[in-house]
Amino acid sequence: MAFLIKFLVFLQQVSLEEVPAAAKKLRLTKPSKSAALHIDLCKATSPTDALQYLLHFARKPVEAESVEGVVRILLEHYYKESDNSVRLKIASLLGLLSKTQGFAPDCIVDDAINTLNNEKSHQVLAQLLGTLLIIGTQLPDKIAVIQRLIDVACKHLSSTYFGVRNKCLQLLGCLGTVDKPLSKETDAGPGAQTSHVRDVQSVISDYFQDQDPRVRTAAIKAMLQLHERGMKIQQTIYNQACKLLSDDYEQVRSAAVQMVWVLSQLYPESIVPIPSSNEEIRLVDDSFGKICHMVSDGSWVVRVQAAKLLGSMHQVSPHFLEQTLDKKLMSDLRRKRTAHERAKELYASGEFSSGRRWADDAPKEKVDTSGVNLIDSGACGAFVHGLEDEMYEVRISAVEALCSLAQSSPSFAEKCLDFLVDMFNDEIEEVRLQSIHVLRQISTHITLREDQLDTVLAVLEDSSRDIREALHELLCYTNVSTKDCIQLALLELLKNLTKYPTDRNSVWNPILICFCPPSIQMSEVPWCSAPNPGAADYIAVLVLVFNAAKSCPTMPALFSDHTFRHYAYLRDSLSHLVPHLRVRNLPALGSVRFFYYYFLEEINTFIKDMFAKMILICVTYRDLLRLGELQTELAGSADFCATYLHCQLLLTKALQEKLWTMAVPLCLKQNAKVSTAARQILDETYKLEFLYSGLETQQIATIHNVRLQAKALQLILMARSKRGVDRVLGVCEKFLQDVESFQRLFMTELPHFQDSFVEKLLELMPRLTACKPLDLVKILQTTLRQSRFIHLKLPEQIHRASATIIEPTGESDNPLKFTSGLVVALDIDATLEHVQDPQTTVKVQVLYPDGQSHIIHPKPGDFRTPGPGRVRLITQVYLSHSAWTEACQVEVRLLLAYSSSSSKPSASKPVWNESLDGLPTSESCIEGTIHLSKPVNVFIMPKPARR
């Protein structure tokens, strides 16, 4: 018996000892990255095989917990490997692995530094320094580690290989600090020994004169990196940077131009001496002249960079700025002497003149153009050279720089006007377009003369639609000098309408007549008194005249009765083109705007108190829609408020249906009506969230509250009409997740939701998570009927995204004929207003008569930006279908794609895995689409193929 008891105890101990072993085996079922890599490297029979294994390993992601083991395996093989290419790849992998999220690279710093000691290959040494740079940027708070890396960089700066010196300079630029010295260097002199402290800037500046141009470039970039990190660069570096502007290598000159510009922004008012003279000059003026000289550089890349930087130097003196538009050298590059100075020199010379002319026998000095000069010769006519450059990139940069400087200096804007107008005749369309945009931006500072206007209006004949529309936009904001200019502009615009009828939308601009002076009289506009004016021309001129009357209060007194009737008609039908005028007894525009805003706010407050009166909601909804049509500046707010009231109207009707008091088998018809209302409420909430811009967090939270009510309504209907607990259970879990998401996203907005549906749900959340699905449905039904209407407070400005398809018009009865099975191209021309990120959200939908629907994604290059808040879409869609017996209509419209997770931070991919770069973004994140434009019907006729 005792033996049996001992045997049972032994078996129990054995079973307890085997439990950890079994658990360990279970943990090993997950493959280890380090073990797999070790096996692969052990199988390598040559450096080529090892390199192939490493390349294959680099294409696979590595978990954070496996990185340290992989690094140990790589380091072990690194010490054994004699081939430089394999060690180079291992060093590269160490840097990539150190960027893995969740991995602390400070544990491999010692090993990475130790690999430098015995490394003989310069290429591998440079790669190891690059790995240390990556590690250092991942550990900005580890002061001791950073100091060790800086010491390593200083130690290897004496290397003979340019790549090693480059990496060391990058380390100093990215990790160096100016508040702590690097190290103490000892200078052994005859009979004495001294030591001095070197800082990071002095060490980097020593390599401005390195024999290798790549090292000189790296030194300048390292200094610029210090500046980007917030460290102030010393002014003593300015002279060294100016010398590098004449370097033989393009990369050095390009970096030096950037360095000179940075110093001009740091020390604009500092005084620097002019070489070979006693004169002094402001540093910003001196650097401006030197950068102007680089506009004539031999490299077009340097010229582009110099021209761009000139546009940001707003502190330069006006006389230096104006000299850039004049090719004449200023005073032979010398400072003019005063009469007292000339008399003093004559007296000191001891010679006498004949008296016929002052100082006629004074000794004539020779002019040395490299001597005394207040401004470098390159600054004289710098912009003229830039605008006449052979490379269009330089010309565009010069035009943009002129725009930036002219915006801050009205006098300079007037002087550069002729040069910008001349660029309208450039041979490159992009240059012409940019010149028009630039002139539009400085239009408040300029007034076009008649000769300049002739050059501008000649561009209306351009075949490019973008050029013509940009010019129409320019004419909206440009002032002209005489009345004849107005007559000329109107004639050319009407010719433009005749030649290009599709331009009518851009010609009928609401502020196109802003360039008219207030002295214009109605009698001077002959079209207004013509016996049979063309309808389009007459409407266009009336739009211009009414816009002119907005800034000229004496014009409405000259209007005839039929002009007032036409104003009333156009004001109602083209309210976005015709402004509000103080005519007859109409109130001022400001009071109307105030009244409408007051009306919107009061309606919301009134509805909050009178929630049961659905008739008032219907009337208010109708009035708000009409208000948005009449008052364009309030259209976004009115439509937004009307859509929100529509949601409340649908919800109120749904909760008042008879199905809540009827048995389930008897409520099928009412159930379908309520289900449609719930689906419509969901659609309206997506419109409120994604179709309107300018919303604040409180408005978005209110929209999500209505969406939760619609989802709760759908959940209740599903539980009442469908059998199957499993499906209802899944929907309940999803609904509770949405409630938790609301609490997480809008925690700060919860005080504004007192007695609301979502507040009641959050109070009942512990009970909801524990109850059964049918009990949850009953609670939701009671809570939904007891929740109150949430007052929606309007933000300052709301814009509604919209789109208008210009082409095709849908008015043609001639079908597009093509062979069935093949394709036909349909040109789409549309304007987009207030659309956020149109390149990824705007889609084109083609709906065929048989119900087939195709969604086309326009290319990013199809979107143009003619003005702020407006986007132009010009693209082609390809239609194809089988043969039809007769022509049928195809419906074309624009859609706005949305995703509820678009505002949430997306999970980032592993940084070290470079093989994932360049992959296209997935379209699976799109949840739905919203109609952005009205549909346009196009006749097409697929014909059977001939045999």
Give the tens place of pLDDT for each residue, 690-725.
888 888 888 888 888 888 888 888 888 877 766 555
User: How would DSSP label each residue in 550-564?
Assistant: HH-TTSGGG--HHHH
Q: Which of 108, 155, 163, 164 is nearest to 136 (CA)?
A: 108
User: How would DSSP label each residue in 414-439?
Assistant: HHTHHHHHHGGG-SSHHHHHHHHHHH
- pLDDT at residue number 353: 53
**pLDDT-based confidence at 923, cuts 50/70/90?**
very low
Beta-bridged to residue 197, according to DSSP, are 184
pLDDT-wise least confident of 116-130, 323-337, 666-680: 323-337
Measure the CA–CA gap between 460 and 475, rounded to whole angstroms. Answer: 11
- pLDDT at residue number 40: 66
Q: Which helix (H) or strand (E) holds 269?
A: none
Q: Percent of the chain having pLDDT more than 90?
A: 11
**pLDDT-based confidence at 729, cuts 50/70/90?**
confident
Q: Who wins on pLDDT, 733 or 375?
A: 733
- pLDDT at residue number 482: 81
pLDDT-wise least confident of 252-266, 370-384, 516-530, 931-945: 516-530
pLDDT-wise least confident of 16-30, 45-59, 590-604, 804-818: 16-30
Overall residue count recorded for the chain in this entry: 947
Measure the CA–CA gap between 313 and 288, rounded to whole angstroms. Answer: 7
pLDDT tens column, 207-225: 998 999 999 999 999 999 9
Q: Is residue 400 helix, strand or coil?
A: helix
pLDDT at 122 over 50: yes
Which residue bears the tokens 């052990």?
A: 42
- pLDDT at residue number 194: 34
Q: Is residue 272 helix, strand or coil?
A: strand
Measure the CA–CA gap between 539 and 707, rounded to whole angstroms. Answer: 45
The CATH classification number of 801-903+923-943 equals 2.60.40.10
pLDDT at 867 over 60: yes
User: How would DSSP label each residue in 1-41?
Assistant: -HHHHHHHHHHHHHHHHHHHHHHHHHHTTSPPHHHHHHHHH
**pLDDT-based confidence at 244, cuts 50/70/90?**
very high
Which residue bears the tokens 């600090």?
A: 177
Pairing of strands 192-198, 183-189: antiparallel
Q: Which of 893, 908, 922, 751 is nearest to 830 (CA)?
A: 893
pLDDT tens column, 790-815: 777 777 678 888 888 888 887 777 88
- pLDDT at residue number 370: 47
CA 530 from centroid of its chain's CA atoms: 49
Q: Who wins on pLDDT, 771 or 182?
A: 771
pLDDT-wise least confident of 260-264, 526-530, 808-812: 526-530
pLDDT-wise least confident of 613-627, 647-661, 722-736, 931-945: 613-627
Mean pLDDT for 193-207 is 69
Strands (E) in 265-381, as ranges, are 271-273, 280-282
Phi/psi of residue 564, each to 5°? -65, -40
Q: Report whether 237 contacts 259 (CB < 8 A).
A: yes
Mean pLDDT for 677-701 is 86
Measure the CA–CA gap between 160 and 148, rounded to whole angstroms. Answer: 22
- pLDDT at residue number 605: 53
pLDDT tens column, 64-113: 777 888 888 888 878 887 888 888 888 888 888 888 877 878 788 888 88
Q: Is residue 584 helix, strand or coil?
A: coil
Work out the number of other CB atoms within 10 angstroms of the CB of residue 280. 10
Amino acid found at 324: T
**pLDDT-based confidence at 911, cuts 50/70/90?**
very low
- pLDDT at residue number 844: 92
Pairing of strands 870-879, 824-833: antiparallel
pLDDT at 60 over 80: no
Burial class (CB in 10 A: 0-12, 13-18, 19+), 874: middle
Burial class (CB in 10 A: 0-12, 13-18, 19+), 137: middle
Q: Report whether 647 contacts 703 (CB < 8 A).
A: no
Pairing of strands 816-819, 936-943: parallel
Burial class (CB in 10 A: 0-12, 13-18, 19+), 194: exposed
pLDDT-wise least confident of 335-349, 737-751, 774-788, 837-851: 335-349
> Using alpha carbons only, how large is the chain's radius of gyration in Å?
38
Measure the CA–CA gap between 174 and 145, rounded to whole angstroms. Answer: 14
pLDDT at 51 over 90: no
Mean pLDDT for 470-494 is 82
Q: Which helix (H) or strand (E) holds 936?
A: strand 936-943
Cis peptide before 808, with omega less than 30 degrees from 0?
yes
Contacts of residue 848, defined as CB under 8 A and 6 or more positions apart, other chains included, come to: 854, 881, 890
pLDDT at 633 over 80: no
Contacts of residue 2, defined as CB under 8 A and 6 or more positions apart, other chains included, come to: none
Handedness of CA 284, 290, 296, 298 (dihedral sign): negative
Mean pLDDT for 594-608 is 49
Work out the number of other CB atoms within 10 angstroms of the CB of residue 830. 23
**pLDDT-based confidence at 343, cuts 50/70/90?**
low
pLDDT at 188 over 70: no
Pairing of strands 799-800, 842-847: unpaired
Could you tell me the end-to-end alpha-carbon distance of the chain, in angstroms, rounded to an integer?
102
Which residue bears the tokens 């060391």?
A: 168
Average pLDDT, the chain: 75
Task: Give the class (CATH, top level) of 33-182+198-274.
Answer: mainly alpha
